[in-house]
Amino acid sequence: MALSLHFHPLSSFCHKALIALNELDVEVERCFLNLGDPAQRAEFLARWPTGKMPLLVDGDKVVPETSVIIEYLARRHARPDQQLVPTDGDAALEVRLMDRLFDLYVMQPMQAIVGDRLRAEEDRDPIAVTKARDTLSMAYGMLDERLADRDWAAGEHFSMADCAAAPSLFYATTLVPLGPSHPRLAAYFSRLMQRPSVVRTLDEARPFFKFYPYREALPTEYRPQDV
């Protein structure tokens, strides 16, 4: 198959792309990427020097970055009625804005906290972790306000922004739980967790959750049995 996605099933950014693939119903070869393997790592870096995943390969074309991957798939490989970014200009800007908000202010601080946990104790940075937790708290409040009159992140329809929101919140809430001051965000998160594309992605990742550093805080249905 000429179209392939190189990913790791525990990665939140990979989940974002996988949810989009499930929504768009696009068939791709799903290539498990183990950057700990020297040969796989060298081959991957030859394709994309940043080493960031996921990475979409379409024949000779390499497509990096999750938001670009999602728009590329929607334009080149999905049916016209399966777009995750609307054709209306203003509506598309709102989707891209919400996509950025989840990536920058939920996904990235979440990854900073998890990454710090993986370091040796003497190399940890408690100041950076506190700042990341504060960013998550700020983002929860901002997002709760923006969700006041909408079912999905950018309006009435599931979009690229929701593909970003699901893995962002899934992992972030294991670090900074949603509180009573975020009722709209909590209700939205509940809707995300029932979306078939999200359920499939999390089910496929289930065997790998035992490696998540905060696995004891995962939702009960996804928590490894030995925790």
pLDDT above 70: residue 221: yes
Nearest Cα residue to 154 out of 82, 105, 102, 107 = 102
pLDDT above 60: residue 1: no
CA angle, 175 then 178 then 183, to 5°:
165
Decide if 163 is inside a domain.
Answer: yes
In this structure, what CATH number is given to the domain that contains residue 130?
1.20.1050.10
The torsion angle over the Cα atoms of residues 199, 204, 210 and 214, rounded to 10 degrees, is -40
Residue-averaged pLDDT of the chain: 95
Decide if 212 is inside a domain.
Answer: no
Residue 203 is predicted with a pLDDT of 97
Map tokens 């054709």 to a residue.
Answer: 87
Q: What is the residue range of 155's domain?
A: 89-195
pLDDT above 60: residue 17: yes
Query: What crossing angle do the helices spanning 126-146 and 89-102 adopt, rounded to 10°?
Result: 150
Decide if 119 is inside a domain.
Answer: yes
Decide if 206 is inside a domain.
Answer: no
pLDDT above 80: residue 23: yes
Decide if 27 is inside a domain.
Answer: no
Identify whether the C-beta of residue 24 lies closer than 8 Å to the C-beta of residue 74.
yes
Q: What is the mean pLDDT of residues 173-189?
A: 97
Decide if 202 is inside a domain.
Answer: no
Please enumerate in sequence order all residues whose Cβ is within 8 A of that of 180, keeping only pairs 6 or more positions apart, or say none.
none
Residue 227 is predicted with a pLDDT of 73
Tell me which amino acid residue 78 is.
Answer: A
3-state secondary structure the chain: CCEEEEECCCCHHHHHHHHHHHHHCCCCEEEECCCCCHHHHHHHHHHCCCCCCCEEEECCEEEECHHHHHHHHHHHCCCHHHCCCCCCHHHHHHHHHHHHHHHHHHHHHHHHHHHHHHCCHHHCCHHHHHHHHHHHHHHHHHHHHHCCCCCECCECCCCHHHHHHHHHHHHHCCCCCCCCCCHHHHHHHHHHHHCHHHHHHHHHHHHHHHHCCCHHHCCHHHCCCCC
Number of domains observed in the structure of the chain = 1
pLDDT in tens, 102-150: 999 999 999 999 999 999 999 999 999 999 999 999 999 999 999 999 9
Kindly state the greatest CA–CA separation across the chain: 52
Decide if 24 is inside a domain.
Answer: no
Decide if 103 is inside a domain.
Answer: yes
Other CB atoms within 10 Å distance of the CB of residue 218: 20
Residue 46 is predicted with a pLDDT of 93
Map tokens 């790791």 to a residue.
Answer: 8
The model's pTM? 0.95
